Amino acid sequence: MKRGGKHNPAYADSKELWSLRRSIPLLSRISKRVISYYGAGETKSPFKTKGLDFQEVRAYQPGDDIRQIDWRVTAKHGKPFTKLYTEEKEHSVFLVIDMRSRMKFASQGRFKSVLAARIASFLAFIAESKNDKVSFLILKKDSLEAGSLSPANQIIPFLIKALEQAEQMDQSLNTSYSDSISLTNGIVETLKHVRRGSSVFLISDFHDFSSTDENLITQLASSRLVTFIHIYDPLESRLPKDRLPITNGSETRFLEADQNKIQLEFHNSFLLQLQKIQQVVQKADLGYLPVLTNENDLLKIAHFYKKDL
C-alpha cells in the first residue's frame, strides 16, 4: 500500500517526524487560552529533576512539601521533620513508546501509533533544546527496542528511525492482535534501566494496564517524575448507533453496534479502565494528559507543559 501524502494519518515516516523540530519555537509562544485539557494529575514540569539525592533532615518549615516529611524522625522528636534533597546537575528523559498492534487504529484523525511517534519525537526535540540526555524504549508486537542514554541530538536519529520501522504493519484484516509483549514487560524493563531523578514519559493507550502495573508504577515514581500520556480514539470510549465500516484501505467489513446493551457494556468497560489509570495517577502523584486521535497532539503537549517550552 502506497503511503503518499505529507501527513498520512496511518503512518508517521521519518520526514514528518523530523519536521516536528520546527514546531519548538512556534509552540513556545502559544497562549494558555488556545486550548484546554483535562488531566487527573498535577501539571508537572517534564524537564526538571525530581531532586532525589538525599542531603539532610531538618525541622519542617512552612512551604515544605508534605510528601517529604520523614515520619520516623517526626515520631521520635514529636514535631515534623522534612527530608531535603539536591537536584542532579544532569537531567535525563526516558521515553516509553507503545507501538503494539492495538495502537495501529483510529476512527478519526491519526492512528494512535502515529500520535505516539509524533509525541515522542516532539518531546525528544524539547529535550534537545534543553541539552538533556534521552533514552527510549519502544514496545512492539513481539519485542522491545531500546536506545541507550545519550545527548538528545545524538539519540534522536536512532529514535526516529526506530519509530518509523515500528510503524510498519501487516495490511491484512486477519492480522493477529495478540501481542506477546505486554505493558508490564515495558514497565519492568524501564525500571531496570531508567536513572533516578529522570523524567519518564509513558505514551500508550493503556488498554492492558493491570494491578501489577500499578505496583510497578508506584516503584518507578518513587524516585522519578513520571507522566502518562494516554492516547485513545473517540470510538474506544463510546460506540455510535450505526453499522461501522472498518477498512485497511483495500478491504471493508462492518461492525454492528446498534444494540443498547452492547453500547453500555462497551462504555462501562472503558470507564472502568480509565478509573483504574486515574487512581494510580493520583496515588503515585503522576502527570497525566489524555490525547484523542482527532485532537492536535502538539498543541496539547505544548499547553500542558507551557512553562517549560
Mean pLDDT by 10 residues, the chain (309 residues): 58 92 75 39 47 67 79 87 67 95 91 96 93 95 94 96 83 60 97 92 96 94 92 81 64 66 73 91 91 91 68
CA distance 263 to 239: 6
Domain boundaries, the chain: 14-48+89-308, 53-86
pLDDT of 5: 46
**Cα atoms in the 13 Å half-sphere on the side-chain side of 90:** 7
The reported pTM is: 0.77
Q: Which fold has domain 14-48+89-308?
A: Rossmann fold (3.40.50)
CA distance 269 to 167: 28
pLDDT of 113: 95
pLDDT of 136: 98
Name residue 168's amino acid.
Q
Contacts of 277 (CB under 8 A, 6+ apart): 40, 206, 209, 228, 230, 288
pLDDT of 188: 97
